[in-house]
Chains A and B, each alone.
Chain A
């Protein structure tokens, strides 16, 4: 984004909690939501004499994430200590990686420019580290409480290149990243539960200048839209500052979401000297090429590839595919329905309409959704072959969600099977013509546009069971 005189330059640091059963360096549970300090042991409490032991699953998930982001996974990476004092950092240092990270040099596509060129954001590096505990300042007046359940939980930090040029692109990058990580199934990527956190580095410069301006670091954004608003706000602040002849000072800022402003942080970070050095309690992490290849082979289809395939396999519009692939679970559900029913268009309409609405209403996930893809496909087939009407189909679906019974059984139990018997339909037509003499007379006199109204009356009378096609034909023959 430019305000004419300035261009926004943003790089994002995204911390993602890996979905492991246990912590990065000890056997404690990594689950969210336990009572304070329950998930702790000598290692994550930093008791004297305790030593870290690396969680193999964390390495696997981190490698998977790095490969999914197009990075090169380094055969040798080194854990390092990042030293600083804070009460929720029990060892007085965080085990992280510094000059030899797990992976480097990836990128993600976040969309296209107006002239169709792909917009890619570079990934500088992906490294492994452990989380700190949590300081709770507002629970006990005059005191700070410490919860170390999170201490030692495995994270990856994904550092982007300063390739982002607008708040909207930052949002697009984050949504893309989140989607890829969901597809890779390496994290819950929930900002609410703290399993995804974003820090932003932002500077301004005149368009065309290649040298980077002095950056500030903005923290404490609790949603993607907060990131976008914080970037807009900080961009405006820096631009105004430079405009008035001032200079941007390198500092850490906190986003105040209520007042919609950034304010300087209370010092914890600042221009800290972290005194990094290689962690002597852990050996260098050696990953052999064969192992990396195995992890690569196990990578699932990523959103980009899936979108392209869905467009070509099911002849859907790019926009439709975009919607379907937002969540990997929805995309997989759709695909199963489409394959079972053989009708991609109807599958798309039902999944994006009825299924999404039902999931939203229940608050549950696709995995636990009662109507399995095969069941929905059966319903679609019943509608398509005219066994039940579309209207009845929706009622059947509602009952399927409630009861989990198959569509055909519900349709039969509730008498929703479409009636194709001309004698019965003709009876309904006669009744309607008798009950609405004025409309009947005008229609029979040649006022063709009244046919739709009369069909509606018949459908209502039949409770949706009459085959609309036959109703139309019978009415037309009366008007003959």
Chain B
């Protein structure tokens, strides 16, 4: 393994190298920092990183070296640098959510996902920029300035996990954590040409994720390749007693899906499967006409409207053709209620946000702006100055839809339609469809400042919000370029069937090869 190629290495390759002693964690982390400097990840350039680890990262490297010397297991991510979206609590680095109201706030506790990453030997090197409180689709809503897309610096990286997607696209780390409420991992992954996974609601603990809309929020993984995302999810997924909505369903070794075999029964640390998972880097066999034999791919007509950008459609059709060549059946399906998703989402998400963001009141932590008008004045000044325009808009919207007299007409009705949208997915999967394929976004990345109308911005999430509303897992993989900009293809599967989702993604990635970035 050669660290000269650091930005092209998969996480699993790095971990194997570190575990085998071929390379030190220190050297890997240095390569990551060098890459960040070379690419200009700082606030004066791409503005990907809000805070970088220094001492903390070094201490983690040292502890890895000690562990290795005493013959201990270093974990699946030994020495792998990772970046974390700034709405996920981490010890030693601020957690600002891209907001003035939390500027400089350092959490006294750590998110479960961060603890799991660290316990598997990952080194947290930085916190990444994001739309304030994850509200946005371009990372332009950050109080600390927009992030630029490393593929084309005139463009947005997408959002709200724009910093994390850009970090992976720029080769700073092979794995990044992001968070999703309506597409905030998949959409930036598509815009930056990387892989982005939103797991099933409940698959990953939300403990330590600063809540935006609790019934939709889910921490996700961005990866340089499908394998990086699969490995990252394996490490962070699983039951957490600190999150009452987390599931205790077994976590399969997602990377096994690369081999095209059915999901192993259950995860057991003593099984042969885990031994394979730890020691080897599974490489998918070259795809052939049998790779996806027996797999039914649903193509929902609502996600391929007549108005869809013709070039985006063409790239999608190429992927669908690859599925067919690998033995899959592509079936036209309908998810009839999906077109209602945007209005439903923009009722439920702001409603929950208006309540979740009430804690930022200037009383206990974060910004406080005193006022001669007493308590009420302090609340008003603190929140008016602390929150940006989009966050304020959504708090007002959410407060309105929950108000007495409007609750039934908006929130309650939106929840009812949400159930209908979810039923469409359930019906599709129970009719024999194994995975659904759609474009991740209607268009590739747009220029910074190009979209100023909030509703037009909301339409960026039109193909992604449904998975959040239904709670099903979904991911975006690079499937080509349009006007030199990356386009993502979305794979959606049934609840807790990430394994099939990864199987399809591994196959598509292998089948497309270099075409994924052409």
A residues bordering B, Cβ < 8 Å? 42, 45-54, 81, 83, 85, 87, 90-93, 146, 273, 275-277, 280-283
B245–A283 touching, CB < 8 Å: yes
Q: Which secondary structure dominates where chain B touches chain A?
A: loop
**What's the minimum C-beta distance from A146 to chain B, rounded to whole angstroms?**
7
Cα-based distance from A313 to B363 in the complex (angstroms): 60
If the complex has contacts A49-B207, A87-B375, A91-B358, are A277 and B244 also in contact, measured as CB distance less than 8 A?
Answer: no
Cα-based distance from A433 to B182 in the complex (angstroms): 107
Residues on the A chain within 8 Å of B403, using CB: 273, 275
If the complex has contacts A53-B241, A273-B403, A280-B352, are A85 and B209 also in contact, measured as CB distance less than 8 A?
Answer: no
Q: B346: CB under 8 A from chain A?
A: no
If the complex has contacts A51-B206, A92-B361, are A283 and B355 also in contact, measured as CB distance less than 8 A?
Answer: no
A49–B211 touching, CB < 8 Å: yes
If the complex has contacts A50-B207, A275-B355, are A87 and B363 also in contact, measured as CB distance less than 8 A?
Answer: yes
Q: Which of A46, A81, A282 contacts B244 (CB 8 A)?
A: A282
A49–B243 touching, CB < 8 Å: no
Q: Which of A49, A52, A87, A280 contacts B361 (CB 8 A)?
A: A87
Residues on the B chain within 8 Å of A91, using CB: 358-359
Q: A52-B244, A281-B244 are in contact. List 16 more A-B contacts (CB 8 A).
A: A45-B364, A46-B364, A47-B109, A48-B95, A48-B210, A49-B107, A49-B207, A51-B206, A51-B242, A54-B244, A83-B355, A91-B359, A275-B399, A276-B402, A280-B214, A283-B245
- Number of B interface residues, CB 8 Å? 45
Residues on the A chain within 8 Å of B411, using CB: 277
Q: B108: CB under 8 A from chain A?
A: yes
Residues on the B chain within 8 Å of A51, using CB: 206-207, 242-244
Q: Name which residue of chain B comes closest to A84, CB basis.
A: B358
* B367-421 CB contacts (< 8 Å) to partner A: 375, 379, 399, 402-404, 407, 411
Q: B351: CB under 8 A from chain A?
A: yes
Cα-based distance from A47 to B211 in the complex (angstroms): 11
Cα-based distance from A85 to B403 in the complex (angstroms): 15
Residues on the A chain within 8 Å of B402, using CB: 83, 275-277
Cα-based distance from A52 to B214 in the complex (angstroms): 12
Q: Which secondary structure dominates where chain A touches chain B?
A: loop
**What's the minimum C-beta distance from A98 to chain B, rounded to whole angstroms?**
11
Q: B304: CB under 8 A from chain A?
A: no
**What's the minimum C-beta distance from A53 to chain B, rounded to whole angstroms?**
5
**What's the minimum C-beta distance from B362 to chain A, rounded to whole angstroms?**
9
Residues on the B chain within 8 Å of A85, using CB: 358, 361, 379
Can you list 8 A-B pairs, Cβ within 8 angstroms, ordered by A? A42-B108, A47-B109, A83-B354, A275-B407, A277-B352, A277-B355, A281-B244, A283-B244
Contact with A along B101-119 (1 / 0, CB 8 A): 0100101110100000000
A49–B358 touching, CB < 8 Å: no
Residues on the B chain within 8 Å of A83, using CB: 354-355, 358, 402
If the complex has contacts A87-B375, A275-B399, A275-B403, are A48 and B107 also in contact, measured as CB distance less than 8 A?
Answer: yes
Residues on the A chain within 8 Å of B351, using CB: 277
Cα-based distance from A273 to B403 in the complex (angstroms): 7
B89–A49 touching, CB < 8 Å: yes
Residues on the B chain within 8 Å of A42, using CB: 108-109
Q: B97: CB under 8 A from chain A?
A: yes
Cα-based distance from A283 to B107 in the complex (angstroms): 26
Cα-based distance from A207 to B352 in the complex (angstroms): 46
A281–B214 touching, CB < 8 Å: yes
Q: B88: CB under 8 A from chain A?
A: yes
Q: B215: CB under 8 A from chain A?
A: yes
* B258-280 CB contacts (< 8 Å) to partner A: none
A48–B364 touching, CB < 8 Å: no
B359–A92 touching, CB < 8 Å: yes
If the complex has contacts A49-B95, A87-B375, are A93 and B361 also in contact, measured as CB distance less than 8 A?
Answer: no
If the complex has contacts A47-B109, A48-B95, A277-B407, are A90 and B208 also in contact, measured as CB distance less than 8 A?
Answer: no
Q: Name which residue of chain B comes closest to A146, CB basis.
A: B363
Cα-based distance from A54 to B245 in the complex (angstroms): 11
* B335-361 CB contacts (< 8 Å) to partner A: 351-352, 354-355, 357-361
Choose among A49, A146, A281 the residue with the greatest number of B CB atoms under 10 Å from its CB: A49
Q: Which of B102, B215, B363 contacts A48 (CB 8 A)?
A: B102
Cα-based distance from A282 to B246 in the complex (angstroms): 10
**What's the minimum C-beta distance from B200 to chain A, rounded to whole angstroms?**
15
Choose among A90, A91, A276, A280 the residue with the greatest number of B CB atoms under 10 Å from its CB: A280
Residues on the B chain within 8 Å of A45, using CB: 364
Q: Which of B208, B352, B375 contacts A49 (CB 8 A)?
A: B208
Cα-based distance from A280 to B245 in the complex (angstroms): 8
Choose among A53, A91, A281 the residue with the greatest number of B CB atoms under 10 Å from its CB: A281
**What's the minimum C-beta distance from A82 to chain B, rounded to whole angstroms?**
10
Residues on the B chain within 8 Å of A273, using CB: 403-404
Q: Which of B214, B244, B357 contacts A53 (CB 8 A)?
A: B244
Cα-based distance from A348 to B111 in the complex (angstroms): 61
Cα-based distance from A449 to B107 in the complex (angstroms): 91
If the complex has contacts A146-B363, A282-B244, are A92 and B210 also in contact, measured as CB distance less than 8 A?
Answer: no
A49–B210 touching, CB < 8 Å: yes
Contact with A along B286-314 (1 / 0, CB 8 A): 00000000000000000000000000000
Q: Which of B88, B215, B242 contacts A280 (CB 8 A)?
A: B215
Contact with A along B10-48 (1 / 0, CB 8 A): 000000000000000000000000000000000000000
* Shortest 8 CB-CB contacts between residues of A and residues of B: A92-B358, A280-B214, A275-B402, A280-B215, A48-B210, A49-B208, A49-B89, A46-B359
Q: Which of B108, B241, B375 contacts A47 (CB 8 A)?
A: B108
Choose among B111, B242, B399 the residue with the greatest number of A CB atoms under 10 Å from its CB: B242
Choose among A85, A276, A283 the residue with the greatest number of B CB atoms under 10 Å from its CB: A85
Q: Which of A49, A90, A280, A282 contacts B209 (CB 8 A)?
A: A49
Cα-based distance from A56 to B104 in the complex (angstroms): 37
B242–A53 touching, CB < 8 Å: yes
Cα-based distance from A93 to B402 in the complex (angstroms): 13
Cα-based distance from A52 to B242 in the complex (angstroms): 7
Q: Name which residue of chain A comes closest to B379, CB basis.
A: A85
Q: Name which residue of chain B comes closest to A53, CB basis.
A: B244
Cα-based distance from A45 to B361 in the complex (angstroms): 12
Cα-based distance from A302 to B411 in the complex (angstroms): 44
Residues on the A chain within 8 Å of B206, using CB: 51
Residues on the A chain within 8 Å of B207, using CB: 49-51
Residues on the A chain within 8 Å of B354, using CB: 83, 275
Cα-based distance from A146 to B364 in the complex (angstroms): 10
Q: Name which residue of chain B comes closest to A272, CB basis.
A: B404
Residues on the B chain within 8 Å of A276, using CB: 402, 407
Residues on the A chain within 8 Å of B241, using CB: 53
Residues on the B chain within 8 Å of A87, using CB: 361, 363, 375
Cα-based distance from A85 to B362 in the complex (angstroms): 11
**What's the minimum C-beta distance from A272 to chain B, rounded to whole angstroms?**
10
Cα-based distance from A99 to B447 in the complex (angstroms): 47
Q: Name which residue of chain B comes closest to A42, CB basis.
A: B109
Residues on the A chain within 8 Å of B352, using CB: 277, 280
B107–A93 touching, CB < 8 Å: no
Cα-based distance from A93 to B359 in the complex (angstroms): 8
**What's the minimum C-beta distance from A305 to chain B, rounded to whole angstroms?**
38
B404–A92 touching, CB < 8 Å: no
Residues on the A chain within 8 Å of B404, using CB: 273, 275
**What's the minimum C-beta distance from B57 to chain A, rounded to whole angstroms?**
21
Residues on the B chain within 8 Å of A281, using CB: 211, 214, 244-245
Residues on the B chain within 8 Å of A280, using CB: 213-215, 245, 352
**What's the minimum C-beta distance from B205 to chain A, rounded to whole angstroms?**
9
Residues on the A chain within 8 Å of B364, using CB: 45-47, 90
**What's the minimum C-beta distance from A267 to chain B, rounded to whole angstroms?**
10
Residues on the A chain within 8 Å of B89, using CB: 48-49
Residues on the A chain within 8 Å of B375, using CB: 87
**What's the minimum C-beta distance from A96 to chain B, rounded to whole angstroms?**
13
Residues on the A chain within 8 Å of B102, using CB: 48
Cα-based distance from A90 to B108 in the complex (angstroms): 16
Cα-based distance from A142 to B214 in the complex (angstroms): 38
Choose among B209, B215, B357, B402 the residue with the greatest number of A CB atoms under 10 Å from its CB: B402
